[in-house]
């Protein structure tokens, strides 16, 4: 994975905790209204149905309880900006685990209720600096919660894509954290200052080796909205597709991110 050489921006732990609970609550409220036909609808995630996607939301938070029950590691092994590059290696196992849990669970609403209750308890009792093991190595609890915000936002967007009629809300703080982490990961993947990527109102990063912009309007600029950026960064949308749909504005000879996307898969 690319080394996280750049300084990780800070995230307000209290806001991230609230955002994680709020976003999970939005999904829970939507899922409890779904009919069997809606739960069986396909998603853009390969052969996952909406039901499996819903179950995966509970797994995104279930890992907190599972790993916090283990012995605390002696030292941190993974920085927050390492995480987006590590996820691809676990994709196959995550998919298998999701299908296995979906096959076992009968009452989906009860599963969401248990997970919401238990997560709220853990957030009340776990220190930000507490180290916890993950699939990728030991991380601080505060950093893990930022990754949970990313997971919940990305998969809420998957749910809205499969069921546009739902209109599941995006918590503003969770959306901001997701946008910023994926933007910063791009800057790590392609270090430099020749291209400015703007994702208002949440993030601006410079990336790509070449002449660095110092004053005035940069010669190479990419601008898009948060959800389009998240879809680009996770491979849900292609660069050419987003340009054609006027979801991205790109100016300058270096303002083509095709070779750098997705950032996380």
pLDDT tens-place values along the chain, 265 residues long:
444 445 578 999 999 999 999 999 999 999 999 999 999 999 999 999 999 999 999 999 999 999 999 999 999 999 999 999 999 888 888 888 898 998 898 899 999 999 999 999 999 999 999 999 999 999 999 999 999 999 999 999 999 999 999 999 999 999 999 999 999 999 999 999 899 999 999 999 999 988 765 666 678 999 999 999 999 999 999 999 999 999 999 999 889 999 999 999 8
- DSSP letters of the chain? -----SPPPP--HHHHHHHHHHHHHHHHHHHTT--HHHHTSB-SSTT-BHHHHHHHHHHHHHHHHHHHTSPPPSS----GGGHHHHGGGGHHHHHHHHHHHHHH-S-HHHHHHHHHHHHHHHHHH--TT-EE--TTS-EEHHHHHHHHHHHHHHHHHHHHHH-TTT-----HHHHHHHHHHHHHHHHHHS-SSSEEEEETTTEEEEESSSSPP-SSS-SSEEEE-HHHHHHHHTTSS-HHHHHHTT-EEEESTT---GGG--S--
- 5 belongs to a structural domain: no
Q: Is 53 exposed, middle or buried (0-12, 13-18, 19+ CB in 10 A)?
A: buried
* Chain centre to alpha carbon of residue 39: 22
- Residue that is last in its domain, among 175, 198, 213: 175
User: If we measure between CA atoms, which residue out of 213, 217, 83, 227 comes closest to residue 155?
Assistant: 227
Alpha carbon distance, N-terminus to C-terminus of the chain: 13
58 and 124 assigned to the same domain? yes
User: If we measure between CA atoms, which residue out of 43, 160, 136 comes closest to residue 82?
Assistant: 136
Q: Residue 200: which CATH number?
A: 3.30.1050.40
151 and 245 assigned to the same domain? no
- 4 belongs to a structural domain: no
d(CA 82, CA 87): 9
* Alpha-carbon distance values, 23 to 26, 148, 150, 225, 241 (Å): 5, 10, 10, 19, 28
162 and 210 assigned to the same domain? no
Number of domains the chain contains = 2
216 and 254 assigned to the same domain? yes
Residue 19 structural domain: 13-175
Q: Which residue has the tokens 């849900």?
A: 236
20 and 53 assigned to the same domain? yes
Structure tokens at 239: 């660069």
- 130 belongs to a structural domain: yes
- 23 belongs to a structural domain: yes
198 and 168 assigned to the same domain? no
């Amino acid at each position: 994975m690319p080394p996280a050489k750049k300084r990780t921006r800070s995230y307000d732990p209290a806001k991230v905790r609230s955002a994680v609970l709020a976003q999970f609550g939005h999904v829970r409220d939507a899922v409890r209204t779904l009919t069997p036909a809606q739960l069986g609808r396909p998603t853009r995630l390969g052969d996952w149905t909406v039901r499996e996607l819903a179950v995966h939301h509970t797994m995104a938070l279930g890992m907190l309880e599972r790993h916090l029950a283990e012995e605390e590691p002696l030292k941190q092994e993974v920085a927050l900006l390492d995480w987006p590059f590590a996820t691809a290696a676990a994709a196959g196992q995550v998919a298998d685990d999701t299908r296995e849990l979906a096959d076992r669970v009968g009452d989906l609403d009860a599963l969401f209720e248990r997970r919401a209750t238990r997560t709220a308890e853990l957030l009340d009792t776990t220190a930000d600096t507490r180290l916890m093991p993950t699939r990728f190595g030991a991380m601080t609890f505060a950093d893990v919660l930022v990754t949970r915000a990313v997971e919940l936002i990305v998969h809420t967007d998957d749910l809205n894509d499969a069921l546009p009629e739902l209109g599941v809300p995006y918590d503003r703080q969770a959306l901001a954290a997701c946008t910023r982490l994926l933007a910063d990961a791009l800057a790590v993947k392609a270090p430099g200052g020749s291209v400015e990527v703007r994702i208002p109102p949440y993030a601006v990063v410079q990336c790509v080796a070449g002449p660095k912009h110092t004053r005035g309007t940069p010669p190479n600029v990419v601008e898009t909205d948060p959800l389009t950026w998240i879809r680009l960064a996770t491979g849900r949308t292609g660069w050419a597709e987003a340009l054609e749909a006027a979801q991205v504005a790109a100016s300058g000879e270096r303002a083509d991110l095709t070779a750098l996307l997705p950032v996380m898969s």
